[in-house]
Amino acid sequence: MDFPYLCTLNFNKYPYGMQKIRNIAIIAHVDHGKTTLVDKILHFTNLFRENEQAGELILDNNDLERERGITIVSKNVSVRYKDVKINIIDTPGHADFGGEVERVLKMADGVILLVDAFEGPMPQTRFVTQKALALGLKPIVVVNKVDKENCRPDEVYEAVFELFFNLDATEEQLDFPVLYGSSKQGWMGTDWKQPAEDFTPLLEAILEHIPPAPYAEGTLQMQVTSLDYSSFVGRIAIGRVARGVIKENQPVSLVKRDGKIVKSRVKELHTFEGLGRVKVQELKAGDICAVVGIEGFDIGDTLADFENPEQLEVIHIDEPTMNMLFTINNSPFFGKEGKFVTSRHLQERLYKEMEKNLALKVVQTDSPDSYLVYGRGILHLSVLIETMRREGYELQVGQPQVIVKEIDGVKCEPIEVLVVDVPAEVSGKVIELVTQRKGELLIMETKGDMQHLEFDIPARGIIGLRNNVLTATSGEAVIAHRFKAYEPWKGTIPGRMAGVLISMEKGQTTAYSIDKLQDRGRFFVDPGVDIYEGQIVGEHIRDNDLVINLVKGKQLTNMRASGSDDNVRIAPAIKFSLEESMEYIQADEYIEVTPKSIRLRKIYLTENERKINAKKFQ
């Protein structure tokens, strides 16, 4: 994103001897209100003029984040309160973006842990909190959404304390301040029964409990924990100055992750001020900055002294747990809707993504047109695919596969902790669905009028489970999961129960054919849609695949019969989202992804080829 040069800031007003800086990260589970809280803090500290329309979810500034209501990429902003600069880092709440969280926490001295007053600490809350406590960060707990019905702030506070204790928090970390409030209504206070007027109690707690950014004397050390791109100046390194001073036009050494040293020079230096960046001459240890002019850096590299470079500890990121095959689109509709369609385009885009997405890994396969992409989970990979299709890429992806390891001679697979909150009357259905997929029920307790269930389940068992659970509970289940550990292989898990309906012809679907074949299953396509041979057009009512002709039209004659010429009545087509498609397909199927369409297809398009290669997928 290009950024404006606002002005050159005069730092004499804020002497560094006093280190009037607080670096704080906001962490929480998905949809607990992090981004809304940041919005309200920005408004409260008068960052916008009275006549300026800032809107909502200011930091979730890309379309995908706004549509899904989640934070995918961490953001930096700063506000000023009582002459103190507070750098706020908004982090993703989903465990699939844990790689993003782990590195940005390195820039903070404290965290605000935001917890929903009804739901309490959730799996991803635990995941991110564990990382923050291990780094020794000082926490402030905010129990949000106390205006909700059925909220239970006191019980949630106890649950947070228990969580901290179980995560081996120090005595100082266990002595955390707690605030209650409603980000939406714009207040935070120490008593949830007596609403405060504004956010003053929260900002006061930050000044009182979060330690000032420490100033460390010595030669320069700064770790690159994030990056940005500008079409004017190229790649921009973002990180926190850990030691010494960094100046504009200063020669520096770039220490790579493998210890290799590259000499470079800082062309421009920016600090975060409000929602933008401000050009400065120099910055001292403790502040977060953006550096322009460094070539060839990666996340985790260290900017160090030109003469005597010293490397900071390399950021460790948890390994990926899942992989998918990405390949070029070779369907009969190749090149019709996309702008970037060749293997060169695909390779360049995936390697570019690897530069900033630390939890992602790309491996070349035997075929020059295909790549294995490793990620943290289905959401992590689907966000990449969705971003690529919006940029104009055409590609095909295979079935997600979990990464299996051999540990001490034993075949092991990733196990996840699955948490489901569901109405009590349908909890039996959920337990049955999860145990069919080798899930093991650990906890079953009542939370208000909901049943709280916790399972250990293989990661491959979660693929395709969400749809089944939501269907069985009429969409009322709240599902979350996080990686636990690698454990011995749990055995075979049943896949999709039903077969699929496959097109035998290329052409346009007709209402007549769909109507006549409705007793064979449910369709994924509407009348008048272009399809090709080998495309999956529906789900069969039985467990085998069936080849059908949806292109055939009615034979027209001059004769009309009153009984047989009824109006066609067709059930609406099922439309899968990208994630639902990823969970639905089997090993012998691909998803064809283009800027305008998501289609399911067989890898081998003709029936003869499918029979010849059937053994490959057994």
The full DSSP string for 313-371 is PPPP-PPP-EEEEEE---STTTTSS-SB-SHHHHHHHHHHHHHH-TT-EEEE-SSTTEE
Q: Which residues contact 423 (CB under 8 A, 6 or more apart)?
A: 449, 450, 451, 473, 476
- Is 516 labelled as part of a ligand binding site? no
Under DSSP, the state recorded for 107 is G
- Is 145 labelled as part of a ligand binding site? yes
Do residues 360 and 368 lie in contact, with contact meaning Cβ atoms separated by under 8 Å?
Answer: no
- Sheet with 84-90, strands from edge to edge, namely 75-81, 84-90, 21-28, 110-116, 138-144, 178-182, 187-189
- Is 168 labelled as part of a ligand binding site? no
Alpha-carbon gap, residue 99 to 222, rounded angstroms: 19
What is the SS3 assignment for 467? helix
What is the SS3 assignment for 175? coil
Torsion angle defined by CA atoms of residues 366, 375, 255 and 19, in that order, rounded to the nearest 10 degrees? 170
What the block records as the tokens of 64 is 């995908």
The full DSSP string for 44-94 is HTT-S-TT----S-SS--SHHHHHHT---S-EEEEEEETTEEEEEEE---S
Do residues 79 and 91 lie in contact, with contact meaning Cβ atoms separated by under 8 Å?
Answer: no
- Is 35 labelled as part of a ligand binding site? yes
Strands (E), 511-608: 521-523, 530-531, 535-540, 546-548, 589-593, 598-602
> Among 286, 287, 269, which Cα is nearest to 278's?
269
- Is 365 labelled as part of a ligand binding site? no
Residue with tokens 């009348």: 527
- Is 468 labelled as part of a ligand binding site? no
> Among 286, 313, 308, which Cα is nearest to 223's?
313
Rg (CA), the chain: 27
Strands (E), 82-220: 84-90, 110-116, 138-144, 178-182, 187-189
Under DSSP, the state recorded for 426 is G
Alpha-carbon gap, residue 522 to 342, rounded angstroms: 34
Strand partners, 174: none
- Is 8 labelled as part of a ligand binding site? no
- Is 36 labelled as part of a ligand binding site? yes
Strand partners, 139: 111
Alpha-carbon gap, residue 515 to 493, rounded angstroms: 35
- The annotated binding site for GTP is made up of 31-36, 144-147
- The annotated binding site is made up of 31-36, 144-147
